[in-house]
């Protein structure tokens, strides 16, 4: 059986360093058998990969890729706390999309997160989800993703 870490490698992906919190919080917290991540924005090497509103400065396809980056950042926080290979399954994904007026494609954007989790965890990656359009996100990020996972 292939582990999540091995699947990431097969996909040609590596987990980034855990993003430094921008406020008074921690990247991830365990409670019982669950791990909750803080909302993760698409940081690459400590900088936002893109800024702006989805449906204006950022296309839906670009935002879908940004959701994938957010998810890799969330997985890095989980890995640092409990080890990625200890994840039994993904419970919930919440995706926030900074949306231009009239943009209604939030579910398609957050599919970037959901699809990656399916690739990494297989059937254990199936999860409940919310895809929410918002007017603004911190530091003008186009997308933010948070995860809840169950661990062994």
- As a whole number, the mean pLDDT across the chain is 97
pLDDT for the residue 40: 97
pLDDT for the residue 130: 98
Q: Please state the length of the chain.
A: 152
Model confidence at 22, pLDDT cuts 50, 70, 90, reads confident
* Percent of residues, the chain, with pLDDT higher than 90: 95
| pLDDT higher than 80, residue 1 | no
8 Å CB contact between 66 and 78: no
* Percent of residues, the chain, with pLDDT higher than 70: 100
CA distance 131 to 105: 9
CA distance 66 to 127: 19
Q: Are strands 128-134 and 87-98 parallel, antiparallel or unpaired?
A: parallel
Q: Higher pLDDT residue, 96 or 20?
A: 96
pLDDT tens profile 93-103? 999 999 999 99
pLDDT for the residue 98: 98
């Amino acid at each position: 059986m292939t582990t999540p870490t091995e699947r990431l490698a097969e996909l040609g992906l590596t987990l980034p360093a855990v993003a430094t919190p921008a406020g008074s919080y921690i990247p991830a917290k365990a409670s019982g058998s669950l791990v909750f991540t803080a909302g993760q924005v698409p940081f690459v090497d400590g900088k936002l990969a893109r800024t702006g509103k989805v449906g204006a400065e950022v296309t839906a396809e670009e935002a879908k890729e940004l959701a994938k980056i957010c998810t890799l950042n969330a997985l890095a926080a989980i890995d640092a706390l409990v080890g990625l290979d200890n994840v039994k399954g993904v419970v919930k994904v919440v995706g926030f999309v900074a949306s231009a007026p009239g943009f209604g494609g939030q579910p398609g954007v957050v599919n970037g997160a959901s699809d990656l989790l399916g690739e990494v965890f297989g059937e254990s990656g199936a999860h409940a989800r919310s895809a929410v359009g918002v007017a603004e996100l911190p530091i003008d990020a186009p997308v933010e993703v948070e995860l809840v996972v169950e661990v062994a």
